[in-house]
Amino acid sequence: MAATQDVDFLVIGSGIAGLTYGRLVARQGRTLILTKKNRAESNSNYAQGGIAGAMSDEDSVRLHAEDTLVAGAGLCHPDAVETLVTEGPERIRELIELGADFSMSIGPDGHTVLALGREGGHSRNRIVHSADRTGWECERTLLAAVRDLPQLTILEHYFVLDLALDESGRCAGAYALDPATGETHLFRARAVLLATGGCGQVYKHTTNPAIATADGVAMAWRAGADIANMEFIQFHPTSLYHPEGQSFLISEAVRGDGGILRTANGDTFMENYHPMGALAPRDIVARAIHAERLRRGEPCVFVDVTHLDAAHTRKRFPTIYERCLELGIDITRQPIPVVPAAHYQCGGILTDLDGRTSVDGLFAAGEVACTGVHGANRLASNSLLEAMVFGHRAALRATEVADTPTGNVKPRSSHGGPLPEPARTAELVTRLKDTMNDLVGIVRSTTGLETARESVGVTASELADISLASRATPDLCEAVNVGQAATLIIESALRRKESRGLHFTTDYPNPSESERHDTVRRAAGAQERPQ
């Protein structure tokens, strides 16, 4: 029998979306944030570039909206984009008021102003940043803001196994494993927010941390929530390529600051693919790099900043400079070898503008959610902004509807079998990642996707069987979630009979007006959300 604890608001995930939401709802009731790692460990924490926002007189929300819509390749929801760009500047100002230390410069009038950078797809300088560690700075600021809130508690190292539903299908909490004791706890709540981040670990090469195992999408799917647009996985064009190093993001801001994309012999190539060159939208740059590597038979291309002032480069990109130097690359003297790597999940749990999902009582915000903002391709640095804007909106809505009583929670079946064999689990996950990397990456085909569906289906089934026969462990649960997410990505990709944004298939190389709609997956037996 699971130990039970009652709270008013339950938050799963401690990134920027979860902390933004938690800070607000804690004013209205007992709030608990569960995180499977340390409280500061999140995808948010690894965001280098910055937060996009119309924060200068040379910019406007209209221009920001236009750039977002162009990058989204015809699939953005205009109302969601309007909400993002209109409310975004206020959320950024709130973060500054909370103590966020963003990079500053001296304006034409001699006053200190935000130092606004430029990234791919943006028509203006609008990237608010803290050198090249913006996500870390936002996370630090929000953690400090919630630290002393009397009604908010953060429990670290709790792994959420599944959402808890009552007899009516309403989300009434979650079951979580305390790895320290091996006990399962039921945390009941009047409103639940999923803010678990993305699914980068579905792929062999990713800029995401090890925690990005699609837990939120998988849990929501099992609970009957609608999932949308999972075929749109953004591959960041420039991940560090190094045989001895793990994938490491080389921020788009490096190119925005004057970095040049070159091949091994020093040739530039992006002018052959897009008028914006190296600052074209990410899907275009990633496919261009992929094409050049194949055409030349080379393992990588290079971002060259050796022509820029060395002192400026070290100051503007201290994290990138130090990380590369650890691997023997002085970026002020040597070009940086890069390849595309899985970076961001543009689809996810389908929500409205207030973070509500199709499961009553369940909200989602941040990368785990599909708000309609990103369409078929996320504009650079809109992710942290989305987490803040929609985390804020979800909190306001949750406090309005949280008085709805919950019924009796359905018990979760538990398994007391032997511990799973770690080596076998790891082997299956490696096999799955290799398949996703080879067949469900930047360029796809129907034949390749069908082969991937069969291979991943077998792997995911074996993982599920192991899970049913074994005691729950975080590693095994993450493996099952990765398998579920991989299946959703493949099935969604097979449904889209066109190429649009991040989904490019050789069988349908052009966009089709008849395919200009979301790819919505609905679990069997799922109930309609009450209006």
Note the pTM of the prediction, 2 decimals: 0.91
> Can you say whether the dihedral through the CA atoms of 517, 521, 525, 529 is positive or negative?
negative
The domain limits of the chain are 3-158+346-401, 238-342, 416-505
- For range 106-113, the mean pLDDT: 83
> Can you say whether the dihedral through the CA atoms of 175, 177, 181, 182 is positive or negative?
positive
Fold adopted by 238-342: Flavocytochrome C3; Chain A, domain 1 (3.90.700)
Measured between alpha carbons, how far is 197 from 216 in angstroms, rounded to an integer? Answer: 7
Residue linked to tokens 């973070």 = 355
Confidence of residue 416 (pLDDT cuts 50, 70, 90): low
- For range 284-288, the mean pLDDT: 91
Active-site amino acid positions:
282
- For range 241-268, the mean pLDDT: 87
Fold adopted by 416-505: Methane Monooxygenase Hydroxylase; Chain G, domain 1 (1.20.58)
Q: Which of 61-65, 151-155, 323-327 has the lowest mean pLDDT?
A: 323-327
Confidence of residue 527 (pLDDT cuts 50, 70, 90): very low
At residue 182, the pLDDT reads 87
Confidence of residue 2 (pLDDT cuts 50, 70, 90): low
162-173 confidence digits (pLDDT tens): 999 999 999 999
380-398 confidence digits (pLDDT tens): 899 999 999 999 999 999 9
Please give the CATH number for the structural domain made up of 3-158+346-401. Answer: 3.50.50.60
At residue 502, the pLDDT reads 96
Measured between alpha carbons, how far is 496 from 515 in angstroms, rounded to an integer? Answer: 7
Confidence of residue 464 (pLDDT cuts 50, 70, 90): very high
316-365 confidence digits (pLDDT tens): 999 899 999 999 999 999 999 999 999 999 999 999 999 999 999 999 99
Is the separation of the CB atoms in 28 and 377 below 8 Å? Answer: no
Q: Which residues contact 275 (CB under 8 A, 6 or more apart)?
A: none
447-458 confidence digits (pLDDT tens): 999 999 999 999
Residue linked to tokens 């970076």 = 343
% residues pLDDT > 70 (the chain)? 95
Measured between alpha carbons, how far is 15 from 138 in angstroms, rounded to an integer? Answer: 9
DSSP string for 297-309: T-S-EEEE-TTS-
Measured between alpha carbons, how far is 483 from 464 in angstroms, rounded to an integer? Answer: 9
At residue 530, the pLDDT reads 30
User: Hey, which residues does 52 pair with through a beta bridge?
Assistant: 127
